[in-house]
Amino acid sequence: MTRVAALVPLKLHSRRLPNKNFLRLGDHPLARHVFETLAAVETLDDVYCYCSKPQVMQLLPETVRFLARPERLDQDNVKANELFRYAVERIPADLIVLCHATAPFITRETVRASVDAVQNGGYDSAASALKLKTYCWHRGEPLNYDPAAMAQTQDLLPIYAETSGVYVFRKADYLTTNTRINGRTFLAEVDAREAVDIDYPEDFALAQALLDFDPQGTTTQGSEYFVGMMNSTARNRDIKLVTFDLDGVLIDSVPAMEVAWEAACEAAGLDIPFDHYAKGIGYPFRDILRQLEIDEALHTTIEETYNHAAIAAQEKIKTYPGVARALARLQDAGVRVAIATSKNRERTIGILAELLPEIQFDHVTTPDDVKAGRGKPHPDQLLHCALAVSVDPQNTIYLGDMEVDKEAAQRAGFRFVHAGWGYGALEDVNDIWFASIGDFVEFLLE
């Protein structure tokens, strides 16, 4: 029995239209549209997202499978056939359906027809194509008409232009010829809407206009980017300050936290598992104790023991890969860097001096620097950073990993970026996120 699998290559960065695969088109990011179409094609056994960043799967239908793409294949100088061959070799299927996220309007009917043509219709491959019956030229010469004997357009020989909507080919043929077009090829005719391929801003504007196209002339347009930071002002380098959470963003301190929490519980005669405490990471320490409903008479003992044990276990704390270099790159580019953490000042300063001695932060704020009870998710610490370096909140990003960080950023008027490598899960697909601090800095400075 012939097994059929669909493949959609996806990458985060694009030069001609930055972050195009994650721009908001209607109610979803651009990339999701083609996956929803493919999920509804019953002749497909599997649908694969071919990407170097597994985090994108959070934005896609649950039925989609992940095919890891080496980061070396994300480079602009990689040829299409090299990119596709790596995936084709690894997909367990007889027929491959290749689609692109930048063609959001390809229909399941077109996909079905293309698969059927190769599977049952005697064709070797299939491709979606736009039929052109107009006066066409090629290399300075008329292609399908004689200017001296003008025919009406309806009588012209049609020209077919491939679109990126769908290709179907046999795996064995591709591995032999290294191309998706083989032998007798079925051209699946598509209309102008299905043929839309998004490479430039004007293409995206066209897709917005055609999203809910009504032949009577009614359209629904939306100009909001799927990820809030991707608007033109952000791309014009208006970010002057990046404020970082500490735990789960710059440092991995969970091993030290666990040791300190066990010591604190022992001193207070409590038996509260560390994973219960860990749910509150990001909030000020005493707020976590209140969340755990611990008697306030024990708070001082617990906090003092915890701090002492955490300092003693500081050697267990490590910075995430590339942190020092990323911070230095921001500063070299003239971007200020600050920290807003729920860790107390003594431990924060000690950790920074030990792990990031080469970085001179423009400002560091802890719950000790604001009124009691006004730590995150209150905006005070973040606003403290902006005021200290004389930067407007709208020109600032807060990079955090927890919902408490996001709430603090929103209340402060900061742009929020989710640290996908940290402790918290990405709960809202409308957040912008990165898989590493290096990816974030690369995007911001590119």
- pLDDT per residue as tens digits for the range 224-259: 333 443 443 344 358 999 999 999 999 999 999 899
Contacts of 374 (CB under 8 A, 6+ apart): 367, 380, 381
Rg (CA), the chain: 27
Which pLDDT value is given to residue 215? 47
Which pLDDT value is given to residue 230? 40
For residue 381, give both structure tokens. Answer: 């610490």
Which pLDDT value is given to residue 17? 77
Residue with the two structure tokens 């051209």? 187
Which pLDDT value is given to residue 425? 66
Which pLDDT value is given to residue 127? 97
CA dist 67 and 87 (Å) reads 8
Which pLDDT value is given to residue 426? 58
Which residue ranges of the chain lie beneath pLDDT 50? 215-236, 429
Helix axes 323-332, 437-445, angle to 10 degrees: 20
Residues 36-46 as b/e (b if ≥16 CB within 10 A, e otherwise) read bbbbebeebeb
Which pLDDT value is given to residue 204? 87
For residue 414, give both structure tokens. Answer: 């900061």
For residue 284, give both structure tokens. Answer: 């000020």
CA dist 108 and 358 (Å) reads 55
For residue 198, give both structure tokens. Answer: 């998004």
- pLDDT per residue as tens digits for the range 133-148: 899 999 999 999 999 9
Could you give the 3-state DSSP secondary structure of residue 240?
Answer: coil
**Alpha helix segments (H runs only) across 273-336:** 274-278, 285-291, 299-312, 323-332
Which pLDDT value is given to residue 218? 42
Which pLDDT value is given to residue 128? 97
Kindly provide the residue ranges of all beta strands, DSSP E only, lying in 173-285, ordered along the sequence.
Answer: 185-190, 241-244, 251-252
Contacts of 383 (CB under 8 A, 6+ apart): 393, 412
